[in-house]
Amino acid sequence: MGPNAVVSAQNLGLTFKTNDGDVVALSDVSLTIDKGEFVSFIGPSGCGKTTFLRTIADLEQPTSGTLRINGQTPENARRERAYGYVFQAPALYPWRTIEKNVALPLEIMGYSGSQQAERIKRTMDLVNLSGFEKKYPWQLSGGMQQRASIARALAFDADLLLMDEPFGALDEIVRDHLNSELLKLWAATQKTICFVTHSIPEAVYLSTKIVVMSPRPGRVTDVIESDLPRERPLDIRETPEFLAIAVRVRDGLRAGHSYEEHV
Amino acid sequence: MSQLQYFLSLVTGGVCAAALALSLVTPFETGLLLKTFLALGVLSLIRFILPLGLWIDGILALLGAAAVLISIGVFTPTPPYFWMALVAAWLFGWLFVERLSKTLAPRLSDNGGLGLLIPVVFGLSILVIWEVATRAGNVPQVILPPPSMIWARITASVPTLFADFQQTFLKAVLIGYVLGCGLGFVVAILIDRSPFLKSGLLPLGNFVSALPIVGVAPIMVMWFGFDWPSKAAVVIIMTFFPMLVNTVAGLNASSAIERDLMRTYAAGYWQTLMKLRLPAAGPFIFNALKINSTLALIGAIVAEFFGTPIVGMGFRISTEVGRMNVDMVWAEIAVAAVAGSVFYGVIVLIERAVTFWHPSVRGA
């Protein structure tokens, strides 16, 4: 574990007890995520990628192994508001305007009124939602709602951003647009981002590191360091370097499946 | 013209024509107004050649109602064409409302007072038919007094009615309602905090709500005396449980993601309650408030049947019905209906202001 490690997992395991017996969601996951990295978790459903993210966020408790966030237990990291979490659904509160939704974590964490106003303005600019402060969530499109939920996760300036398939429910065009926006945002804020997805192009386009996972039990089958430049226009997706990484991700996913077929 | 409108127009004109034909055998000068209305009604059949504005139907309905009301008592016995004129006037009213609602349908939310016209026309037709049927049909007053007689009784007994209203509504209902709903709300929050209370208090609340009001009311009179506190106690018992159950359900209405979000902020119990769970419970709580607004009035009136000082709406109803003063009973019913509707309406207005974000409100 280096001094720059934001997330450090060793032999992490998580077993859910259900009425139908035990379900192994994570098995023997060891992984280190350094400061400033953009890490994607990719795999078929049931591979534990969301569970791993939720474990980092202290929304699930591991049943074996150790997990440290900034050198602390997940619970202490959560209490110190070490991360912002973006869920699959925007989960904006419909009785609050967009700016009041962004202000929600700030209110809970006890920021003063002037600090709140300043941070709302900055994050709304960052996600290109200026001018929609007074709208209610149900008056905005799905893409705008998800941008607002990203603004809400950024508002209190945690260094770690956990994103659980944030663009999964959006169409391809909106998704491409938000992906390039997200890269700019990452460059501007220097945050560490953990990003769950099941789209290979999305994972390769965004990440500095791609973690390939496979199901039953959920485990890491490959960790791919991407050597693509940090500056990435959308048409980088047609370059041979990009395609080579995509092929390796696809092979990793296929290996996970063949394992399943033989057992 | 829709199929229904076509059919209605045809039947209305036909009824008018038949009634006019029947009326021609009577001397010319009797029921002249009625005959004029019927003649105009027949003329309305011209709409199949020449379109008629919907306001013509409204005016004809009004004219018919006036003609029928004025003509009560002109004939003995009441001839069949009188009743047919009543039917025709009602049909014109129906046609008017049907056409009005079709015109308004695409912009029902922002039409100023026009949307209100539909229920007003509906209510007025019921009153007119009631008035004409009871008076021209010589219905015994004990069975059903005409609205005009009830209205005369209301205007003649304003001080009595207000004293009853004050005793039953302003004291027993309002105080019992506030206490019952408040108690239900507080207990719901306590139950939500403690699984022990959930298994202990919820069945008890269920038990209390199952008690029959006619059994509880006399006991409350024994406990809290003859005056309004015993009635308020009955209202508390009636309103407590709906509020409790709805609030408990409402507190669980927020989604898992919404609650996870609060957890990622390391929000405390009270922060989560105030900023997420109570707002999300709003629609449930207002449902209980609406149900309870009518329950409270029923509870207080029925409770007064079991011992009360010589004032109160329930007291008045039970004594006046014994003295065959049915008009007074109806006057009390009218006051209770108006008070109950206004009470309900006020809560709906507050609900719309508070839970404006809920799909059921913002879609309306």
The pLDDT, as a whole number, for residue A59 is 92
Q: Are B238 and B296 in contact (CB under 8 A)?
A: yes
From the list A57, A89, A107, the residue facing B264 with the nearest CB is A57
The pLDDT, as a whole number, for residue B91 is 92
The pLDDT, as a whole number, for residue A257 is 63
Is the Cβ pair A89, B257 closer than 8 Å? yes
Searching chain B, which residue's CA lies closest to the CA of residue A164? B257
Q: Which residue has the tokens 């720059």?
A: A4
Q: Residue A250's closest CA among A201, A209, A216, A215?
A: A201
Chain A contact present for B275, CB below 8 A: yes
Chain A contact present for B355, CB below 8 A: yes
Q: Are A9 and A66 in contact (CB under 8 A)?
A: yes
Residue B208's contacts (CB-CB under 8 Å, 6 or more residues apart) are B237, B240, B241
Question: How far is the C-alpha of B75 from the C-alpha of B94, rounded, in Å?
Answer: 27
Strand order in the sheet with A192-197: A83-86, A160-164, A192-197, A38-42, A209-214, A219-225
Q: How confident is the model at residue A263 (pLDDT cuts 50, 70, 90)?
A: very low
Q: Are B307 and B222 in contact (CB under 8 A)?
A: no
* Residue-averaged pLDDT of chain A: 88
Q: Residue B154's closest CA among B305, B333, B302?
A: B333
Question: How far is the C-alpha of A5 from the C-alpha of A126, rounded, in Å?
Answer: 26
Count Cβ–Cβ pairs < 8 Å, chain A vs chain B: 52
Question: How far is the C-alpha of B62 from the C-alpha of B56, rounded, in Å?
Answer: 10
Question: How far is the C-alpha of B319 from the C-alpha of B325, rounded, in Å?
Answer: 9
Structure token pair of residue B143? 């069975």
Chain A contact present for B269, CB below 8 A: no
From the list A57, A80, A91, the residue facing B258 with the nearest CB is A91
Question: What part of B 239-258 touches A (C-beta under 8 Å)?
Answer: 255, 257-258
Residue among B255, B258, B259, B261 with most chain A CBs within 10 A, to mutate = B261
- Tens digit of pLDDT per residue, chain B (364 long)? 788 888 889 999 999 999 988 888 877 777 788 888 999 988 888 888 888 888 888 899 999 999 988 888 777 778 888 899 999 999 999 999 888 888 776 665 556 667 778 888 889 999 999 999 998 888 888 889 999 999 999 999 999 999 999 999 999 999 999 999 999 999 999 888 887 877 777 788 778 778 888 888 889 988 998 888 999 999 999 999 999 999 998 998 999 999 999 999 999 999 999 999 999 999 999 999 999 999 999 999 999 988 888 888 999 999 998 898 899 999 999 999 999 999 999 999 999 999 999 988 886 5
Q: Residue B276's closest CA among B287, B289, B262?
A: B262
Question: How far is the C-alpha of A220 from the C-alpha of A224, rounded, in Å?
Answer: 11
| Element (DSSP H or E) covering residue A196 | strand A192-197
Alpha-carbon distance values, B205 to A7, B213, B239, B243 (Å): 50, 15, 11, 10
ipTM of the modeled complex: 0.89
Is this prediction's pTM over 0.90? no
Searching chain A, which residue's CA lies closest to the CA of residue B272? A108
Helix (H, G, I), strand (E, B) or coil at A72: strand
Q: What share of chain B is helix, strand, coil (3-state, %, to 5)?
A: 80, 0, 20
| Chain A residues within an 8 Å CB radius of B282 | 95
Q: Given the DSSP bridges, would you call strands A83-86 and A160-164 parallel, antiparallel or unpaired?
A: parallel
- Decide: residue B256, CB within 10 A, 0-12 exposed, 13-18 middle, 19+ buried: exposed
Examine the pLDDT at A255 and tell me if it is beyond 80.
Answer: no
Closest-CA distance of chain A to residue B295, Å: 29
| Chain A residues within an 8 Å CB radius of B356 | 95
Is the Cβ pair A136, B266 closer than 8 Å? no
Q: Residue B161's closest CA among B285, B6, B316, B310?
A: B316
Q: Which alpha helices (H) appear in B304-325, and where do they start and end? A: 313-322
Q: Which residue has the tokens 């038990």?
A: B207
Question: How far is the C-alpha of A192 from the C-alpha of A183, rounded, in Å?
Answer: 12
Chain A contact present for B266, CB below 8 A: yes
Helix (H, G, I), strand (E, B) or coil at A89: coil
Question: How far is the C-alpha of B357 from the C-alpha of B362, rounded, in Å?
Answer: 6
Question: How far is the C-alpha of B263 from the C-alpha of A79, rounded, in Å?
Answer: 9
Cis peptide before A217 (omega within 30 of 0): yes
Strand order in the sheet with A21-34: A21-34, A5-18, A64-69
Residue A172's contacts (CB-CB under 8 Å, 6 or more residues apart) are none
Residue B259's contacts (CB-CB under 8 Å, 6 or more residues apart) are B272, B276
Structure token pair of residue B303? 């409770």
Integer distance in angstroms from the first to the last C-alpha of chain B?
27
Structure token pair of residue B253? 């209405």
Searching chain A, which residue's CA lies closest to the CA of residue B273? A108
Examine the pLDDT at A259 and tell me if it is beyond 70.
Answer: no
Q: Residue B269's closest CA among B251, B243, B249?
A: B251
Residue among A53, A80, A104, A109 with most chain B CBs within 10 A, to mutate = A104
Question: What part of B 277-296 touches A (C-beta under 8 Å)?
Answer: 279, 282
Question: How far is the C-alpha of A4 from the C-alpha of B13, rounded, in Å?
Answer: 90
| Chain A residues within an 8 Å CB radius of B359 | 138
Q: Are A156 and A84 in contact (CB under 8 A)?
A: yes
Closest-CA distance of chain B to residue A254, Å: 32
A5-82+159-262: CATH topology: Rossmann fold (3.40.50)
Handedness of CA A116, A117, A122, A123 (dihedral sign): positive
Q: Are A235 and A241 in contact (CB under 8 A)?
A: no
Neighbours of B274 (CB within 10 A): 13
| Chain B residues within an 8 Å CB radius of A84 | 264
CATH class of B155-362: mainly alpha
| Chain A residues within an 8 Å CB radius of B355 | 95
Q: What share of chain A is helix, strand, coil (3-state, %, to 5)?
A: 40, 25, 35
Q: Given the DSSP bridges, would you call strands A21-34 and A5-18 parallel, antiparallel or unpaired?
A: antiparallel
From the list A93, A108, A138, the residue facing B265 with the nearest CB is A108
Chain length of chain A:
263
Question: How far is the C-alpha of A214 from the C-alpha of A97, rounded, in Å?
Answer: 40
| Chain B residues within an 8 Å CB radius of A194 | none
From the list B267, B357, B358, the residue facing A108 with the nearest CB is B267
Q: How remote is the C-alpha of B187 from its chain's centroid?
A: 31
Question: How far is the C-alpha of A134 from the C-alpha of A143, rounded, in Å?
Answer: 17
The pLDDT, as a whole number, for residue B364 is 53
Residue pLDDT, tens place only, A65-120: 999 998 889 999 999 898 999 999 999 999 999 999 999 999 999 999 999 999 99
| Chain B residues within an 8 Å CB radius of A87 | 257, 260-261
The domain ranges of chain A are 5-82+159-262, 92-157
Q: Given the DSSP bridges, would you call strands A219-225 and A5-18 parallel, antiparallel or unpaired?
A: unpaired
From the list A79, A94, A109, the residue facing B357 with the nearest CB is A94
The pLDDT, as a whole number, for residue B292 is 94
| Chain B residues within an 8 Å CB radius of A81 | 265-266
Q: Are B111 and B104 in contact (CB under 8 A)?
A: yes
Structure token pair of residue B180? 């019952």
Handedness of CA B40, B41, B47, B48 (dihedral sign): negative
User: How many helices, marked H, and strands, marked E, lie in chain A?
Assistant: 8, 9
The pLDDT, as a whole number, for residue A262 is 44
Is the Cβ pair A88, B257 closer than 8 Å? yes
Question: How far is the C-alpha of B62 from the C-alpha of B66, rounded, in Å?
Answer: 6
Closest-CA distance of chain A to residue B252, Å: 15
Q: Which alpha helices (H) appear in chain B, and where do they start and end? A: 3-23, 32-43, 54-70, 80-104, 114-136, 147-156, 158-165, 174-193, 195-210, 213-224, 228-251, 256-264, 269-272, 278-303, 313-322, 326-354, 359-362
